[in-house]
């Protein structure tokens, strides 16, 4: 098994043992796996029907994920934000395709809260919004 396969296997293992995924930042180029790690870590829970929380205010892969999922990106962001997204276009297209065939918004958050999570740079806001979404999902069970 090469390192790319090992990283994917590790990410699948972790995804199978978690209830949700939070993505923040992340590289879009220079990755060692089959695709940038944060992109793969966002893709796997969506494929499994698990909640995905995208905190994109710090940019990077999370901002690219927010953009392809139709979430708001920060007002200050230039049109090509985040830089490097072109290098990850295949992975982003795969994420777009999976999101189109799943309920990517089944995270317990309202649209306004999801947009707030997508632009905030405050760790406390990220934690509070994720906890809010998870608590709402728990109440539905």
Where residue 71 falls among pLDDT bands split at 50, 70, 90?
A: confident
Where residue 141 falls among pLDDT bands split at 50, 70, 90?
A: low
Domain boundaries, the chain: 3-140
- Which residues does 104 contact at the CB level (< 8 Å), separation at least 6? 46, 52, 69
Q: How high is the pLDDT of residue 14?
A: 93
Where residue 30 falls among pLDDT bands split at 50, 70, 90?
A: confident
Q: List, as one string, the DSSP characters of 87-124.
A: GGHHHHHHHHHHHHTTTTT-SS--HHHHHHHHH---HH
What pTM was estimated for this model as a whole? 0.85
């Amino acid at each position: 098994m090469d390192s790319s396969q090992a990283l994917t296997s590790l990410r699948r293992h972790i995804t199978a043992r978690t209830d949700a995924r939070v993505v923040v930042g992340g590289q879009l180029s220079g990755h060692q796996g089959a695709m940038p790690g944060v992109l793969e870590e966002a893709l796997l829970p969506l494929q499994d029907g698990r909640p995905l929380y995208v905190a994109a205010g710090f940019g990077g892969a999370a901002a690219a994920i927010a953009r392809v999922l139709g979430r708001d990106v920060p007002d200050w962001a230039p049109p090509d934000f985040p830089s490097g997204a072109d290098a990850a276009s295949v992975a982003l297209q795969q994420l777009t395709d999976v999101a189109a065939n799943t309920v990517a918004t089944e995270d317990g958050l309202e649209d306004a809260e999801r947009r707030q999570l997508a632009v905030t740079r405050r760790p406390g806001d990220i934690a509070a919004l994720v906890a809010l979404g998870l608590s709402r999902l728990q109440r539905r069970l």
